[in-house]
Each structure stands twice: as C-alpha cells, then as structure tokens.
Structure 1
Amino acid sequence: MRPIDYRVKGLENMLKEISRISEEIVENVVSLKATPDSIRKHIDDVREMRLEIHRNIVEIMARYQPTASDLRGLIAALEISYGLYRFSRYALDISTVLDRVTRISGASCDLRYSSVISKRVVEMVRGSIEAFLNRDKGRARAIIEMDREVDQTLFTALDEASRSANICSTLDLLILMYLERIADHSVYIANEIIEML
C-alpha cells in the first residue's frame, strides 16, 4: 500500500462519520426528535470535519503528488464533504420551519409525504457514500434513479397543497422541498462518482 493510500483511507473514514451524522440529523428532524438548537451542535461537528477533510486533501496533494486517478478521488471527496455539510444545513432549515410553524399555529401535523420520502432520502445519502467508498458506478446510477420517486412525490404533494388551505399540507410540502434538495445532492455525489470512475 502506498503512503497516499493510508491518508485516503483516513479521508474515507471521516466521510463515513460525516455521513452517519448527516443521516442521523435528517432522521431525527423528520421524526420530530430534534430541535434547531440540538441540530446546530451536530452541524458544527460536520462543519469541523469538513474543514479537516479539506486540510487533509490539501496536505495530501502537496506531499504525495497524487496520480490523475488519485486526484479525481480527492476532488470527489472534497465535493462529497461539501454535499454532506449541505444535507445537515437543510435539516436545520427543516427543523426551524417545523419548530416555528407548529409552535405558532399549535398544529400537530402528520407529515405523510415527508416521513416516507425522508427514509428514501437517507437511503440515497447512505448509498451515495457507499458508492464512493466502493467505487461502485452501478450503485451511483441506482441513486440517480431513486431520485425519480422523490421528485414524483414532491409533484404529488404540490398538487395536493394547491387544492388545500391546510397548514399541515403546506408544511409537508415545504419539508418535502428540502428533502428533494438533499436527494438532488445525493444525485450530484453519484454523478461525481460516475465521472471519477
């Protein structure tokens, strides 16, 4: 194993940890187990890990003179770390919206679309990282395909919300829009993997 490979393995472990935290944040937000304040602490952790990944990548590039293939992987890791950070930021936005709307309105909402799609989105996040770590182009393509379900559910919720003045339908739609953005970031990661390989 080359010295650079040990450092890349360390980057991959950091990406796994950021992915785990990001998945947990999204799951907790949509299941209403998290407040904006509790999410912020986790986001700070993700941001610090992302910055550490960036510092490591710069050092690896300076010290080990990566090959073209290594360089593609390092650039993909850089992009993926940013994508995972965005996941957690979107989760904070969702948490803030949920907290404010339910607190002010007193509504107790059944987020039927968001609760179903959040599981799919977490699966996409996890799958995109697995595809990167395993250099699995087929898995990356499957992530891209999964986005169709997320988009279709968003369109269904949009149609329903346009026919309803119900605050819960509107809230469900708003959260679903954030989840759709997270899914799109998973597709972006999957496309990076396909390009890298």
Structure 2
Amino acid sequence: MPQDQAERIVKSYETELRQLRDLIARMGGLAERQVADAAYALSRRDSELAGEVVGRDGPIDALEREVDGFCVRLLALRQPMASDLRFIIAALKISQDIERIGDYARNVAKRSILVADGHFGGGMNGFQWMAELVQRNLKDSIDAFVRDDAELAERVWAADARVDDIYTGIFRELLTHMMEDPRNITAATHMLFIAKNFERIGDHATNIAETVHYAVRGDILPEDRPKADVSADRPIPARTQNTP
C-alpha cells in the first residue's frame, strides 16, 4: 500500500475515534443538564421546569443509538486492537450508563411534579447536597473519559461512598416522618424514590469511572467499590442530616 494512502487511512481512523469521543461528550453534557434541572426543579418546586425535563429525554436516546451504530461500524471495518478496542467498547458501555442517567433524571422530575404542591415536613438539605455530589461525579466521570484520565476516574469511584452516606441519612429521616404521622407517608414515599434515583445516578457515574479506568489502564478496579451500609447502625456525618 502506498505510504500516502496508509497515512490517509490512519488519519481517517483517528478522526473517527475523535468523533466517537465527541458523541459521548455531547451525551454527557445533555445528561448533566437533565440532572441539574431536575434537582433545581425539585428544590424550587418548579413543576414547569420538571415537565420540560420529562419531555426532553429523546435527544439522549437518539445519541445512544448513534453511538451504538458508530461503534459497530468501527468494530466491523477497523478491527481495532488493544487500547483502541478498549476505548470503543468503553464508549458503548458508557453510552448505556448515560442513557440510564437520563431516565433517572426524568424520574426525579416526574416525582417532583407530584410533590410540588403538597406538604413535605422534612428538609431539603440532604437532597441538595446529594444532587450536588452526583452532578460533580457525573461531570468528572465524563471529563475522565474525554481526557483519558484514569486518576480522575479513580477519584469518582472512591467518592460514591459519600453519596450512599447521604442516602442513608435521608432514608432514616423519611422513615421517621412516616412513623410520626401517617399523613406524611405519601409525600415521604415520593421523596424516598427521588433520593433513590439520585443514588442510582451516582452509581452509574461510578460505572462510567470504572469503565474509563479499564479503557485507559487495561486493568479493573476492585469489585467491591466503596459503599455505605444502609442497614448499619452508625452515626451519619452531621452535614448529611436533613434539617427543616
């Protein structure tokens, strides 16, 4: 094969890999906005914004399908090996995690509409802090993929325990509200589902971080990532407690 033709093929392949990276970055940006807007709608009881979040899930789904097709074509036509193969497989897995994050953000928004006009006796501090942490972890995990930054991915992986600690505090407080007054059960149940959706967003951000670490380093992080024990009878850091 002539050298100039070989160089064109290599440049074309590198361009395709950059395009794939850009697709994941776009997906991540859309998911970040969904999570941020869902959290804002919850804290401000903004049913209109929550409705917008519910209605704009389509672009993330469309990008996931585009990534899927793009990766299949690369695998079939380029037959990548080593780090390139890991990168393409990582993009496939990460697009699935991002799509699920979009679904969980939509679920938060749906529940936010249901509780916007009702009375919730608990505080929102824990929810706000939890939302901030999962947004940060999501952004960092996507940035780690875009920059091939395994160290940042490891930090995201380790940060998941803090999200679980907050969820534990919220879970306990909501149970207390329900036991103290049965009239709190409906609103508290919706809020419990909201907290669980944020916790699952954090899990998927951690999944992305694990995938990035493997794509960059070629090894797998420990199977037992840092997790809080929801059933453990131990004090929760003061900042995780929701206060009225």
* TM-score, with length taken from structure 1: 0.90
Aligned partners of 2:213, 2:63: CA distance in 1, in Å? Answer: 25
**CA-to-partner distance for each residue in 1:6-56, whole Å, 9 max, x for gaps?**
1110111111111111111111111115223x2244310010011011111
Q: Which amino acid aligns with 1:69?
A: S
Aligned partners of 2:166, 2:97: CA distance in 1, in Å? Answer: 22
What RMSD over aligned residues (CA atoms) do the two structures have, in Å? 1.9
2:7 maps to none
Correspondence list, 1:1-197, <5 A: 2-32=11-41, 33=46, 34-36=49-51, 38-103=52-117, 105=118, 110-165=123-178, 166=184, 169-196=188-215, 197=217
**CA-to-partner distance for each residue in 1:52-106, whole Å, 9 max, x for gaps?**
1111111111221211221111010011111111111001111111112334x36
Aligned partners of 1:31, 1:170: CA distance in 2, in Å? Answer: 20
Aligned partners of 2:96, 2:84: CA distance in 1, in Å? Answer: 19
* TM-score, with length taken from structure 2: 0.74
Deviation at 1:107, TM superposition (A): 5.4
Runs of 5+ in structure 1 lacking a partner?
none
Aligned partners of 1:192, 1:51: CA distance in 2, in Å? Answer: 19
Q: Which amino acid aligns with 1:16?
A: A
**CA-to-partner distance for each residue in 1:157-183, whole Å, 9 max, x for gaps?**
111112113465544432121111000
Deviation at 1:122, TM superposition (A): 0.9
Q: Which amino acid aligns with 1:99?
A: I
Runs of 5+ in structure 2 lacking a partner?
1-9, 179-183, 218-244
